[in-house]
Amino acid sequence: MKDTYDLILICQSDVVDYSAYAKLPLERRDLYETLVYPRMVHYKGQFRGHLDIINHLRDGVFYEDSDYPRRRQLLNIWNLPAMTGPYLANYMMQNGFKVAIINNIDSELDRFKKIYASARVKPLVGISSTFYLTIKQVARIAKMLRAVDPAMEIVLGGAFANAQTIGGAPDAFEAPMRKYGMKYVLHAFNSEIDLRDLLAARRNGTAIDAVNNLCYLDSGDKFHVTKIHWNEPVLNELEAHWDKLNLPFLNNTIQIRSAAGCPFSCAFCSYPTTARSWKTVKPDAVREHLDAVTSIPNLKQVIFIDDTFNVPKNRFKDLLRIFCDYDFEWFSFLRVQFVDEEIVQLMKDSGCKGVYLGVESASDKVLKNMNKRATSAEFYRGVGLLAKYGITSMSALVLGFPGETEETIRESVNFIENSGTDFYSLKEFFYIKHTKVYDDREQYGLTGMGNRWSHDTMTSEDASRIKIELFKEIRNSIHIDPDTSLWYWAYLCDQGFTIPEVKEIQKHINRITLDQIDGRFDDAHPAYLEIRDILNRQSRAA
């Protein structure tokens, strides 16, 4: 019997091409050291991600060498269910459309082929670009899909697509659409409404040009751009169908949101500009969604992806009291300067397992330049409260923001060493347009763009060098890759690891990395044996 899907949505895929790093000669690692360390480990002939090290030590195989069914059983950060798929499927269901979700195409290509082949009418295939930074990443997935069916109708949407139009015109999509075989691009920030209208037009045979924020190639291969229109986020209007969705990739964790946008205006961030406004879901509506979410079998963890989850305080306390009525553990991002003893007690009582703290810097001077509306004293106080109540925290540092000096770096190091934060990450300042710091660039002597920049007190090369130096120096907290951050340890908890086990494993991985930075490469490093012992104990306990 043929299925009737309107859309197959590709949510995410691997974004790091580890095979490219395999070609880098170890004897010239001084040229690329800051690119791979401390994110990767050289093991069995090439640089690999930390989860793949665990795969080989536990299961004897690497992810890239495995078939698709096996890949779904191995550790890969992109196997953690994204919010995009369930959210869009939920929204489309309430509008009468059926969506098949492929969470990680690199683990589920076989499943995609089966679903696509079973469709009575060939569905639209969507590529979500939430985690993509370059068109190369989009192109790889489009090529993979068109190998299945050269006539496949592909639509690109999401953060990458939107970012291309912030400072440019949608016409720029024509060339990549033709080159990579994509029929549609939805470039709006909140594009779910436009995707709904596109699905309706395809089903009903109505005019495609009535869909807003769309680039498309017509049957005569002519390129078109439709009306640009701002969409408000779908929040309180979203019905709760989570328990009715087909989520075969789900283990124990789901990601949801209770707000969109951000009320802050940090100088390095473009999100407030692109999102325009900040809107929240009413607490009673959050309860309705939690009722549906907790009806999913085996669901044990929720990750709330709100950028400002604990603001305002009274709403956050209302949510925490609601969480106390359920039996799940949760993770979130947290503005730690706004917590107090009552709030942290409620967080603990409601099942909070861990939080990500966008500290960025512990120097009041740099925090002022960043417009963070926080002080280092508030960070110390907040992290101390989290530690007091046994809530795991990760503090993320940005190195090299304008005004950064060796002295301000010392303040941040002291914070990581002495505040009680469990994990930390180090990432160089990334300079982009549509931010306050870009508007103030002349004040700081700031030039360059992206990950190549210079200002009056530091350069990007300085920041990269300092990153390695700090990784070698810090001892009282455990470094986590900033690109996976909260999701890394939440995912390992989803896979049955405890926080103490995650800490122990990561300490050993970092120990191997430190030796490799110093030029000592050994696939028989004793830390590998220590990790294998932890994995064996964890397996027996499970």
- What one-character-per-residue DSSP string does 435-468 give? SHHHHTHHHHT-EEEBTEEE-SS-BHHHHHHHHH
Single residue among 194, 217, 250 that ends a domain in this structure: 250
Mean pLDDT across 30-40: 93
pTM for this model (two decimals): 0.96
How open is the CA angle 80-133-151, to the nearest 5 degrees?
A: 80
pLDDT at 418 over 90: yes
Looking at the structure, tell me whether residues 75 and 208 fall in a common domain: yes
Confidence (pLDDT) at 277: 83
Same domain, 313 and 180: no
* Mean pLDDT of the region 428-449: 95
Q: Return the SS3 of 394.
A: strand
106 and 189 part of one domain: yes
Residue 2: predicted pLDDT: 62
User: Residues 319, 423: one domain?
Assistant: yes
pLDDT category, 24, cuts 50, 70, 90? Answer: confident
Distance CA 311, CA 317 (A): 10
Residues 461 and 533 occupy one common structural domain: no
% of the chain with per-residue pLDDT over 90: 91
Residue 434 has what pLDDT? 87
Are both 479 and 330 inside the same structural domain?
A: yes
| CATH number of the domain bearing residue 485 | 3.20.20.70
Using the predicted structure, report yes or no on whether residue 30 has a pLDDT greater than 90: no
pLDDT at 22: 81
Q: What's the number of domains the chain is made of?
A: 3
In a shared domain, residues 244 and 314: no
Is the pLDDT reported for residue 167 higher than 80? Answer: no
Q: Are residues 304 and 185 in the same domain?
A: no
Q: Are residues 490 and 512 in the same domain?
A: no
Domain containing residue 479: 251-495
| One domain, residues 391 and 527 | no
pLDDT digits (tens, 9 = 90+) for 196-205: 999 999 999 9
Tokens describing residue 352: 């909070």
| 229 in the same domain as 127 | yes
| Predicted confidence (pLDDT) at residue 208 exceeds the cutoff of 90 | yes
- What mean pLDDT is predicted for residues 446-466? 97
Beta strand extents in 138-232 (DSSP E only): 154-157, 184-186, 214-217, 223-225
Tokens read off for 415: 């914070």
* 102/3 same-domain check: yes
pLDDT in tens, 467-518: 999 999 999 999 999 999 999 999 999 999 999 999 999 999 999 999 999 9
Q: Which of 250, 285, 313 is the last residue of a domain?
A: 250
